[in-house]
Structure 1
Amino acid sequence: MKKVRLGVYGAVTLLLALYVFVESVNLSPFYSEGAIFWALVISLYLLIWALFHFGEFTFQRLEAGMSGAQRPFNYVPKCKFPKVVKFIIAAPWAFLAVMMIISSPLISWGAYRDQLGEVQEREFSSDIQAVDMSQVPIVDQELAYNLANKKLGEKPSLGSQVVLGEPTIQMVDGKLIWAVPLQHSGFFKWLTNMSGSAGYITVSATNVNDVSYVEDHKIKIQPNSYLLHDLKRNVRFGGALFEGIVDYSFELDDNGQPYWVVSTYRNRRGFALPEATGVIVVNATTGEKEKYSIADVPEWVDRVQPEDFILNQINNQGAYVHGIFNFADKDKFRQSEGHNIVYNGGNCYLFTGLTSVGRDESAIGFMMVDMVTKEPIRYQINGATEDMGQRSAEGKVQNLKYDASFPIIINLDGQPTYFMTLKDNAGLIKQYAFVSVVNYSTVGTGETIADARRDYSQALRNGGSSAALQESAETEKATGAVLRIASEQSEKQEIYKLILDSKQDVIFIADSTVSDELAITREGDQVTLEYVETGDGVIHAVSFDNLEFTQKQAENG
């Protein structure tokens, strides 16, 4: 009987050990995963002990001809289980139930509302840097994956051994790129290349032709690998057995060395409200690990805060803005569908629109959250959601049936503007689009960014927004003699282009609504104008005065 008891304990222990190793279980009872695990372990071991201690097993060999109702063993209880045993078995499950009750927003809705922290209210035009149109990201994650896959296809021998991992956008040495790890395509490929897979691919976020294969750094540690080469298992058994780990992000330092940045977290209420506490940085080539708090993360690390954590905290703040019993939904808000990772002032942010509960097409503002410090900033802008911006851009080219990528919001001439690419069915960029956030019917498209920018500026002017340009951006003044002037007819009005002798390297553009004097201005006339310079080199005149007429009126007067 003793051998049987030891055999049962041994088999159960082995199965549990295999489960812990394969699933990389968090063993802390203060996380739901660990609490359930320990409740099962305690219950299972106590149950086995009690069965053997308070009863007796008898075994018999089944032989041919014996009744089918007979069993290979029988159990005869000697006495009832003591209450203390039942209490010990029930204790971990009671702890689990209490923690789940504590986790409920019914108990701690204030913690749900306040987890994001105090939100700063800022002006969009003064806080968001004006974008350099040559550096605007045009490659989204889907296109980055396709471009990387095409690059991989250029090396047939390599393509049969590896598959692409998930692309991660990041700033590396001042350049915005997507980094795509190459991972083993199966068990036997891992077994024959245990030193690591063959590097990674970088895709420029601003230039579809800038795709590079980097083979100098192998990727030994990777997701869904085997034994301790598996990323989660490597981190868990490398010192994080009792710690919350999540969000495995592939990042490069400024020298191109690949790392996995794994966020650590703790729960603020029971098993709920996870809060990032720092990162574990894993060298993807060697497996070496360093743990950092949020205040000490290396400068090249762009992400500490998991995106899901931030989005849940935004939604919780909106859902419980006036408590849990706000049945009228007063002032409730939520994130709009979709979000983006953007860079402003060299820092990485999650950027998403906010919409009122029940109103899906109207944005009431935007939220930008620092991906390292979790500092939240809100911009109070009423306008269109990202989805409406996409549909507006697609409507402009509906005859071509292009699909708009998820937009990014940029500061264009001081105005919040959606920028997106327009793709064909093959996922290739065919055009670009700008859509006004405030008035999503104002759309500009073109086969180049510059063309789309000019079309957008024209749409703004046609909408009576030469004044809007003047109000939303700083203007400068120029005076000089007209060297050249010409006009062209747009869909709705006359557009004038002129060059002054005082600024011969630029072309001023002004629509006919700026001044009636444009139509009768000739070469050699002295003029003065106020203008706004945009990021693509286009200079828009927002006021115009022909000094020749002013002087003649003065002489006649």
Structure 2
Amino acid sequence: MDSGNKGFNFNFDFGKRPNTENIHKGSKGFKQAFSDFKQDMKIRDNNRKGSNPFKVILLTLVIMFILFFVTLPALNFMAPEFYSFLIAGIILFNVLNLIFGKMPVFKIGSISAILVGVLLLAPIVIGFFAQPIFRAKAYSTLIPVSDANFAETVTEISYDKVPVVDREAAAIIGARQMGSVQEVVSQFEINENYTQINIKGVPVRVSPLAYSDLIKYFLNFRNGIPYYVKVDMATQEADLIKLVSPLKYSKSDILMRDIIRHNRFKYPTKMFGETNFEVDDEGNGFYITSVLTKRIGFFGGTDVKGAIVTNGSTGESNYYDVADVPHWVDRVYPADLIIQQLDYRGSYSDGFINSIIGQRNVTRTTRGYNYVPLNDDIYLFTGVTSIRSDSSNLGFYFVNLRTKDAMFFSVPSADEFSAMNSATGQIQEKNYVPAFPVLLNIKDRPTYLIGLKDASGLAKMFALVDAENYQKVEVGNTVQEVINQYYMRTDTSNLPGEDANELTIKIEEIQSVVIDGNTIYYIKAAGDDVVYVGTAKTLGAPIVFAKPGDSLKVFGNPRNNQFDILLNFQSN
């Protein structure tokens, strides 16, 4: 036992005070050294021969103005970049004073260090108490959502207004159209914004031209940008449209004609969101800039409070609160901001702790979104799924991008990606890539319309997938074809019912019409006012040889003076 402690010698002397002489000497030495340093700095400050302090201040302001001109920060206490701008100004002033000034470096530096510390810590501390952990309920109510009935709210739209072009495809289609106009393509290129809007009730994507380079800018800036590209989202056709008045302000302009800089100098305190190009119904080009605010505390809960509408030709800018934005404007709220607020609603409605532990009723949006034209507005739509992501949706959100009016449709369904996989499974031999779907009302049922794109990025085929039963899939070469096929397969209104009749008629006249690849037969019978209608698919091969004078047997339900033929013709 003793041998194990030979290397240790413990000496506890509780009655003896520790020797603090060296500690006091060290402390005294540090204080003395610091005092000597201050004294030395005072002597140096007194002996400095620098410029007049006002010259240093003026030089600081000039450089900060240049920095403001380049970076364009919002001079708003809610904007994080404002604090960075102030800190940069304080550091710049101290550097210039050290090099050129004669103000006391130590004193000015000490005050500056305190100011920088406050500017760094204040946003961090205040922002921390505005986080969801403290304000979960406030975050969950950033976007009010009302429950709605899908069939009653989302009306069926005609096939020629169904949007099937996404931004990627619009860029490809627009580039092809641009390349066909040599005198334009040599001077301009297309801005890749491609905003989806409605023009006279038709969903389109629009993007203005942009100056190709600095030399082309100086050659053309006096006349401005004369054209924009419009891509019809239903027909996949692009047109180069001449503006009523050329754009003299744009994102490709420089100095004070840059649209962001132009608005920043007119509204220096407003926080800008995204800026989108839009065209009104008269063909005038405008830029719509969303104006942001903070709804929670001083730094939390980003939201839109209004928009700046700028005439791209004259540069005239007007600010509108959200409620007063002109109705022809389609895009005020950024899509990413809407998705963020919907996720806050799904996560924090029952408190922050529940979003981490238990996760009762916690939902999130699916991994994508798209846009749907509705009542001459653009609505963002996305699915709502549980936090555990089980490849199914609880329903759908529809949000108006001008007003932020939001609706939730409780429709248990397959999520968008399951529908996309189901669509490609029908034509897997073609190796087409599905675009993110558009949600349509087909026969009062939520139905995904999915563009199937080839290697060029353009939609070559289309699929309709029943959202509630994604095993029901129709695939066609055009939107009209796939919708017709879907109706024919799901429509049971023409099946023989209690009032079904079996008739033998004599053909007086027969006409066939090809509509989007489908042959439709219209038959007038002798001594009968009813028009008999049927397709080659439902009537069978014998209808091809039917001629006036033939007797035909039909069976179906007469309605509205029309008889939908369901059985094969039997010609004599």
- Into which bin does the TM-score normalised by the smaller protein fall? 0.7 to 0.9
Partner Cα separation in structure 1 for residue 108 and residue 326 of structure 2 = 61
The answer on whether the counterparts of 2:204 and 2:233 sit within 8 Å (CA) in structure 1 is yes
The answer on whether the counterparts of 2:558 and 2:564 sit within 8 Å (CA) in structure 1 is no
What does the per-residue CA deviation read over 1:123-142, in whole Å, with 9 as the maximum and x for residues that have no partner? 11111101212221222222
Partner Cα separation in structure 1 for residue 220 and residue 423 of structure 2 = 47
What is the DSSP-based 3-state SS (H/G/I as helix, E as strand, rest coil) of the residue aligned with 2:367?
Answer: coil
Identity over aligned pairs, percent:
25
What is the DSSP-based 3-state SS (H/G/I as helix, E as strand, rest coil) of the residue aligned with 1:103?
Answer: coil
**1:161 Cα deviation (Å)?**
1.7
Matches within 5 A, 1:446-465: 446-457=476-487, 460=490
For 2:168, the aligned partner's letter is E
The reply on whether 1:103 has 2:130 as its aligned counterpart is yes
**1:113 Cα deviation (Å)?**
0.8
The reply on whether 1:231 has 2:259 as its aligned counterpart is yes
Q: Give the match for residue 442 of structure 1.
A: 472
Partner Cα separation in structure 2 for residue 87 and residue 152 of structure 1 = 57
**1:322 Cα deviation (Å)?**
1.6
What is the DSSP-based 3-state SS (H/G/I as helix, E as strand, rest coil) of the residue aligned with 2:245?
Answer: coil
What is the DSSP-based 3-state SS (H/G/I as helix, E as strand, rest coil) of the residue aligned with 1:359?
Answer: coil
Which of these residues, 215, 218, 227, is aligned with residue 191 of structure 1?
218
Which of these residues, 330, 346, 360, is aligned with residue 318 of structure 1?
346
What is the DSSP-based 3-state SS (H/G/I as helix, E as strand, rest coil) of the residue aligned with 1:223?
Answer: coil
What is the DSSP-based 3-state SS (H/G/I as helix, E as strand, rest coil) of the residue aligned with 1:391?
Answer: helix
Q: Give the match for residue 549 of structure 1.
A: none
* CA distance 1:315–1:384, shift in 2 (3 Å): same
The answer on whether the counterparts of 2:522 and 2:534 sit within 8 Å (CA) in structure 1 is yes
TM-score (norm 2): 0.76
* CA distance 1:136–1:55, shift in 2 (3 Å): closer
Matches within 5 A, 1:92-491: 92-117=119-144, 119-165=145-191, 166-195=193-222, 196-209=224-237, 211-214=239-242, 216-238=244-266, 240-269=267-296, 270-326=298-354, 327-457=357-487, 460=490, 466=492, 481=503, 483=505
For 1:353, the aligned partner's letter is G
Which of these residues, 89, 93, 104, is aligned with residue 41 of structure 1?
89
For 1:247, the aligned partner's letter is E
**1:206 Cα deviation (Å)?**
1.4
Greater CA drift, 452-461 or 437-446: 452-461
For 2:344, the aligned partner's letter is N
Greater CA drift, 406-415 or 127-136: 127-136
* CA distance 1:304–1:385, shift in 2 (3 Å): same
What is the DSSP-based 3-state SS (H/G/I as helix, E as strand, rest coil) of the residue aligned with 2:286?
Answer: strand
**1:316 Cα deviation (Å)?**
0.6
For 1:137, the aligned partner's letter is P
Structure with greater Cα Rg: 2
For 1:155, the aligned partner's letter is V
Partner Cα separation in structure 1 for residue 323 and residue 260 of structure 2 = 24
Which of these residues, 508, 511, 528, is aligned with residue 557 of structure 2?
528
The answer on whether the counterparts of 2:243 and 2:283 sit within 8 Å (CA) in structure 1 is no
Structure 2 stretches lacking a partner, 5+ long: 1-48, 508-519, 540-550, 568-572
**1:480 Cα deviation (Å)?**
8.6
Q: Give the match for residue 42 of structure 2.
A: none
Partner Cα separation in structure 1 for residue 362 and residue 506 of structure 2 = 56
For 2:67, the aligned partner's letter is Y
What is the DSSP-based 3-state SS (H/G/I as helix, E as strand, rest coil) of the residue aligned with 2:344?
Answer: helix
What does the per-residue CA deviation read over 1:327-358, in whole Å, with 9 as the maximum and x for residues that have no partner? 12221111111111211122221111111112
What is the DSSP-based 3-state SS (H/G/I as helix, E as strand, rest coil) of the residue aligned with 1:325?
Answer: helix
The answer on whether the counterparts of 2:229 and 2:238 sit within 8 Å (CA) in structure 1 is no
The answer on whether the counterparts of 1:187 and 1:226 sit within 8 Å (CA) in structure 2 is no
TM-score (norm 1): 0.78
Partner Cα separation in structure 2 for residue 460 and residue 192 of structure 1 = 59
Greater CA drift, 498-507 or 251-260: 498-507
* CA distance 1:383–1:44, shift in 2 (3 Å): same
* CA distance 1:526–1:224, shift in 2 (3 Å): closer
What does the per-residue CA deviation read over 1:48-83, in whole Å, with 9 as the maximum and x for residues that have no partner? 769967757xxxxxxxxxxxxxxxxxxxx6x8977x
Which of these residues, 27, 44, 63, is aligned with residue 75 of structure 2?
27
Partner Cα separation in structure 2 for residue 199 and residue 81 of structure 1 = 55
Corresponding residue pairs, total: 485
**1:210 Cα deviation (Å)?**
5.1
What is the DSSP-based 3-state SS (H/G/I as helix, E as strand, rest coil) of the residue aligned with 1:17?
Answer: helix
**1:211 Cα deviation (Å)?**
2.3
Greater CA drift, 437-446 or 212-221: 212-221
For 1:296, the aligned partner's letter is D
* CA distance 1:85–1:411, shift in 2 (3 Å): closer
What is the DSSP-based 3-state SS (H/G/I as helix, E as strand, rest coil) of the residue aligned with 2:382?
Answer: strand
* CA distance 1:328–1:484, shift in 2 (3 Å): farther
* CA distance 1:97–1:191, shift in 2 (3 Å): same
The answer on whether the counterparts of 1:279 and 1:304 sit within 8 Å (CA) in structure 2 is yes
What is the DSSP-based 3-state SS (H/G/I as helix, E as strand, rest coil) of the residue aligned with 2:289?
Answer: strand
* CA distance 1:40–1:86, shift in 2 (3 Å): same
**1:477 Cα deviation (Å)?**
8.3
Partner Cα separation in structure 2 for residue 539 and residue 303 of structure 1 = 45
For 1:197, the aligned partner's letter is I
